[in-house]
Chains A and B, each alone.
Chain A
Amino acid sequence: MEIFNHDSNIHFLGMRKYTVGLAILLMIGSIALIATRGLNYGLDFTGGVSMLVNYEQPVEIADVRGALAKGGFEGAVVQSLGGTREVSIRFQAKDDPEAIQANGTVNLDRVSADVMAKLHAARPDAKLKSRDFVSAQVGAELKSDGTWAALLVILGIMAYLWIRFERRFAIAAVATEIHDTLVTLGVIALVQREFDMTVLASVLAVIGYSINDKVVVFDRIRELFRLARKAEPEEILNRSINNTLSRTIITSLFTGITMGAMWLLGGPAVHGFAITMLIGIVVGTLSSIFVASPILLWLGVSKKDLMPVTRDNPELARRP
Chain B
Amino acid sequence: MTDFPRWKYALVALVMVFGVIYALPNAFVPVPAVQVSANRGAPAIDQAVRQKVIDTLTQKRIAFGKVVVEGDNLLATFADTDVQKSGSDAIKALLGDQYTVAFKLQSTVPEWLGMIGARSMPLGLDLQGGVHFLMQVDQNDVIDKQESSYADDIRSLLRDKKIRYESVARNSVRGKGVAVVLRSEDDRAKAADAIANEYTDLLVSNGPSTGDRFVLNAVIKPDKLRDIGRGAITQNLQTLRNRINALGVSEPLIQQQGENHIVVDLAGVQDPAEAKKLIGTVATLEYRPGIGHPGDPQAREAEKTGNIPPDANLYHMRGTGLPVLVSKKVIVTGKELVDASSGIDQQSGTPKVDVTLNAAGARKMSDFTNANVGKPMAVVYVERVTETKMVDGKEVRVPKVTESVINDANIASPFSRQFQTTGLGSPKEASDLALLLKGGAFAAPVDIIEEGVIGSSMGADNIDKGFKSVMLGLALVLLAAAIYYKLFGLVADIALFFNLVILVAVMSLIGVTLTMPGIAGIVLTLGMAIDANVLICERVREELRNGSTPHAAIYAGYEKAWSTILDANVTHLIAALALTTMGTGAIKGFGITLMIGILTSLFTSVTLTHAFTAAIHGHRKLKTLSV
Is the Cβ of B574 less than 8 Å from the Cβ of A156?
A: yes
Size category of the binding interface on chain B: 35 or more
CA distance A1 to B527 in the complex (A): 20
CA distance A254 to B523 in the complex (A): 11
If A207-B575, A270-B469 touch, does A259 touch B524 (CB 8 Å cutoff)?
yes
CA distance A259 to B477 in the complex (A): 11
Is the Cβ of B473 less than 8 Å from the Cβ of A258?
A: yes
Using a CB-CB cutoff of 8 Å, which residues 553-601 of chain B contact chain A?
559-560, 563-564, 567-572, 574-579, 581-584, 586-587, 590-591, 594
Residues in chain B near residue A250, CB distance under 8 A: 484, 534, 538
Using a CB-CB cutoff of 8 Å, which residues 117-155 of chain A contact chain B?
128-135, 137-138, 141-142, 145-146, 148-150, 152-153
Is the Cβ of A267 less than 8 Å from the Cβ of B578?
A: no
CA distance A146 to B467 in the complex (A): 28
Is the Cβ of B564 less than 8 Å from the Cβ of A215?
A: yes
Is the Cβ of B457 less than 8 Å from the Cβ of A198?
A: no
If A149-B581, A215-B571 touch, does A135 touch B477 (CB 8 Å cutoff)?
no
If A130-B453, A131-B453 touch, does A257 touch B587 (CB 8 Å cutoff)?
no
If A105-B448, A109-B273, A247-B535 touch, does A205 touch B469 (CB 8 Å cutoff)?
no
Residues in chain B near residue A200, CB distance under 8 A: 587
Is the Cβ of B481 less than 8 Å from the Cβ of A134?
A: no
What is the distance, in angstroms, from B37's C-beta to the closest C-beta of chain A? 28
Residues in chain B near residue A1, CB distance under 8 A: 483-486
Residues in chain A near residue B232, CB distance under 8 A: none
If A208-B572, A255-B528 touch, does A108 touch B451 (CB 8 Å cutoff)?
yes
| Interchain CB contact (< 8 A) of A270 among B258, B486, B516 | B516
What is the distance, in angstroms, from A314's C-beta to the closest C-beta of chain B? 13
Using a CB-CB cutoff of 8 Å, which residues 60-89 of chain A contact chain B?
none
CA distance A251 to B601 in the complex (A): 15
If A247-B535, A262-B520, A264-B469 touch, does A211 touch B582 (CB 8 Å cutoff)?
no
Using a CB-CB cutoff of 8 Å, which residues 230-278 of chain A contact chain B?
243-244, 246-247, 250-251, 253-262, 264-267, 269-270, 273-274, 277
Residues in chain B near residue A267, CB distance under 8 A: 461-462, 465-466
What is the distance, in angstroms, from B275's C-beta to the closest C-beta of chain A? 11
CA distance A133 to B135 in the complex (A): 12
Is the Cβ of A254 less than 8 Å from the Cβ of B578?
A: no
Given contacts A148-B581, A201-B591, 9 further A-B pairs with CB under 8 A are A129-B457, A132-B451, A134-B449, A135-B449, A137-B449, A198-B517, A208-B572, A267-B462, A269-B516
Is the Cβ of B571 less than 8 Å from the Cβ of A211?
A: yes
CA distance A145 to B578 in the complex (A): 10
Question: Residues of B with Cβ closer than 8 Å to A?
Answer: 126, 134, 136, 258, 272-273, 447-455, 457-458, 461-462, 465-466, 468-469, 472-474, 476-477, 480-481, 483-486, 516-517, 519-520, 523-524, 526-528, 530-531, 534-535, 538, 541-542, 545, 559-560, 563-564, 567-572, 574-579, 581-584, 586-587, 590-591, 594
Using a CB-CB cutoff of 8 Å, which residues 203-227 of chain A contact chain B?
204-205, 207-209, 211-212, 215-216, 218-220, 223
- Interface segment out of the listed A157-165, A183-191, A297-305: A157-165
- Which A-B residue pairs are the 4 nearest by beta carbons? A208-B575, A258-B527, A255-B527, A258-B473
In the complex formed, the residue of B with least CB distance to A103 is B447
CA distance A132 to B450 in the complex (A): 7
If A254-B530, A266-B466 touch, does A201 touch B587 (CB 8 Å cutoff)?
yes
Is the Cβ of A208 less than 8 Å from the Cβ of B465?
A: no
Residues in chain A near residue B582, CB distance under 8 A: 145-146, 149
Is the Cβ of B594 less than 8 Å from the Cβ of A270?
A: no
In the complex formed, the residue of B with least CB distance to A211 is B571
What are 30 sample pairs from A and B whose C-beta atoms fall under 8 A apart?
A: A1-B484, A2-B541, A108-B453, A132-B452, A132-B453, A149-B578, A149-B582, A149-B587, A157-B575, A197-B587, A201-B579, A202-B520, A204-B587, A208-B571, A215-B571, A216-B567, A219-B563, A251-B530, A255-B527, A258-B476, A258-B527, A259-B473, A261-B523, A266-B469, A267-B465, A269-B462, A270-B469, A270-B517, A270-B520, A319-B563
CA distance A24 to B449 in the complex (A): 41
B-contact bits for A91-132, CB 8 A (1 contact / 0 none):
000000000000101001100000000000000000011111
Is the Cβ of A138 less than 8 Å from the Cβ of B563?
A: no
| Interchain CB contact (< 8 A) of A212 among B469, B542, B568 | B568
Is the Cβ of A6 less than 8 Å from the Cβ of B575?
A: no
Q: Does A20 contact B (CB under 8 A)?
A: no
If A198-B586, A261-B473, A266-B465 touch, does A149 touch B579 (CB 8 Å cutoff)?
yes
What is the distance, in angstroms, from A280's C-beta to the closest C-beta of chain B? 11
Q: Does A52 contact B (CB under 8 A)?
A: yes
Residues in chain B near residue A146, CB distance under 8 A: 582
Is the Cβ of B576 less than 8 Å from the Cβ of A208?
A: yes
Q: Is the interface of A mostly helix, strand, loop or mixed?
A: helix
Q: Does A10 contact B (CB under 8 A)?
A: no
Q: Does A316 contact B (CB under 8 A)?
A: yes
CA distance A267 to B534 in the complex (A): 29
Is the Cβ of A130 less than 8 Å from the Cβ of B452?
A: yes
CA distance A130 to B474 in the complex (A): 30
What is the distance, in angstroms, from A235's C-beta to the closest C-beta of chain B? 18
Is the Cβ of A145 less than 8 Å from the Cβ of B583?
A: yes
In the complex formed, the residue of B with least CB distance to A244 is B538
What is the distance, in angstroms, from A133's C-beta to the closest C-beta of chain B? 5
Is the Cβ of B567 less than 8 Å from the Cβ of A219?
A: yes
What is the distance, in angstroms, from A1's C-beta to the closest C-beta of chain B? 5
In the complex formed, the residue of B with least CB distance to A263 is B469
CA distance A223 to B560 in the complex (A): 10
What is the distance, in angstroms, from B17's C-beta to the closest C-beta of chain A? 27
CA distance A52 to B510 in the complex (A): 33
What is the distance, in angstroms, from B380's C-beta to the closest C-beta of chain A? 28
What is the distance, in angstroms, from A245's C-beta to the closest C-beta of chain B? 10
CA distance A320 to B455 in the complex (A): 60
CA distance A215 to B567 in the complex (A): 7
In the complex formed, the residue of B with least CB distance to A142 is B584
Is the Cβ of B465 less than 8 Å from the Cβ of A131?
A: no
If A130-B452, A131-B453, A212-B568 touch, does A105 touch B576 (CB 8 Å cutoff)?
no
Residues in chain B near residue A261, CB distance under 8 A: 469, 472-473, 476, 523
CA distance A246 to B545 in the complex (A): 14
Is the Cβ of B575 less than 8 Å from the Cβ of A273?
A: no
If A258-B523, A265-B468 touch, does A153 touch B534 (CB 8 Å cutoff)?
no
CA distance A145 to B584 in the complex (A): 9
Residues in chain B near residue A157, CB distance under 8 A: 571, 574-575
In the complex formed, the residue of B with least CB distance to A316 is B563
Is the Cβ of B452 less than 8 Å from the Cβ of A156?
A: no
CA distance A304 to B618 in the complex (A): 40
If A201-B517, A201-B587, A209-B528 touch, does A216 touch B480 (CB 8 Å cutoff)?
no
CA distance A313 to B586 in the complex (A): 39
In the complex formed, the residue of B with least CB distance to A128 is B455
What is the distance, in angstroms, from B455's C-beta to the closest C-beta of chain A? 5
If A137-B449, A216-B568 touch, does A255 touch B524 (CB 8 Å cutoff)?
yes
Is the Cβ of B535 less than 8 Å from the Cβ of A160?
A: no
Is the Cβ of A6 less than 8 Å from the Cβ of B545?
A: yes
In the complex formed, the residue of A with least CB distance to B585 is A197
Residues in chain A near residue B447, CB distance under 8 A: 103, 105
| Interchain CB contact (< 8 A) of B572 among A130, A135, A212, A277 | A212
Residues in chain A near residue B530, CB distance under 8 A: 251, 254-255
If A156-B578, A204-B579, A219-B564 touch, does A133 touch B452 (CB 8 Å cutoff)?
yes
CA distance A6 to B583 in the complex (A): 46
